[in-house]
Amino acid sequence: MPHIFYGQAKEDHLVLDRHETEHIKVVRLKKGDMIKATDGKGTLYTCVLNEIKKDRSTATIKKSKRVEEIPTEAEHTLCIASQGWGRLRWIVEKSVELGVDRLIIYKSVRSRSYKDKYNKVQLIVRDSAKQCERYAFPEVLFFEDFSFLNILKGNTVVLHKSGRPAELKDFKGRVNLIVGPEGDFTQEEANMLAENGTPISFGRKILRFETAAILSVGLVAFLNGKI
């Protein structure tokens, strides 16, 4: 993993939390060492570590550089029904690498609860962004239901086996991708979503939800020059 850390900027220094402090210790950095860090909002900092405690470290900012812009309106949104942790984690990690701008995790009838996953998801986002040297972290939003549909702008596609075959054009421009839970949408949910977007499917093979999700995110990223 490239050694990039996440910290919150406060005047002339960065504050790094427990998770980052653990990372600092794992890679055996010491007081006085230079580090690179980001605020997750598009800025790369060069700093000197000046305090490493148990739960918290601080570093003095020597240089800062704007390297990435956060779109003022999120361009590409991936909406995932909350899943078992293994798959959810994996979708989050890969979609951050592939440059998704906004992640929405929602509860559908057949979803698992996400209440215990809020912090875990944020940490995966952070680690994945650090890993791929992404300085503007995607926004993560949690919804108890399908009311997230009201905030989506642009073209919405729903990945579902009932949909027409996917075409290249489905992944171009400002796209919102909606992915269901492992146990599928209920018929009522599928009908409601079909009124709010275009159901598409990779029709010849039965892809698991997470595979279809990541392939779609990758297509959006590739066809729009994000990767």
Query: What single-letter amino acid sits at 104?
Result: I
Give phi and psi for 197, each to the nearest 5: -170, -175
Within 8 A by CB and 6+ apart from 107, the residues are 81, 82, 113, 114, 143, 144, 145
For helices 85-97 and 118-131, what crossing angle results, to 10°? Answer: 40
Is residue 227 within the footprint of a copy of itself (CB under 8 A)?
Answer: yes
Is 142 a binder of a copy of itself (CB under 8 A)? no
Q: Which of these segments, 34-42, 104-112, 128-136, 185-193, binds a copy of itself (CB under 8 A)?
A: 128-136
Q: What's the closest the beta carbon of residue 205 comes to a copy of itself, in angstroms?
A: 5
Site for a copy of itself in 144-203 (CB under 8 A): 166, 202-203
- 207 is an interface residue for a copy of itself by CB under 8 A: yes
Does residue 87 belong to the site contacting a copy of itself (CB under 8 A)? no
* Residue 219, H or E segment: helix 209-223
Question: Which positions lie near a copy of itself, rule CB under 8 A?
Answer: 2, 90, 94, 97-99, 131-134, 166, 202-208, 211, 214-215, 218-219, 221-222, 225-227
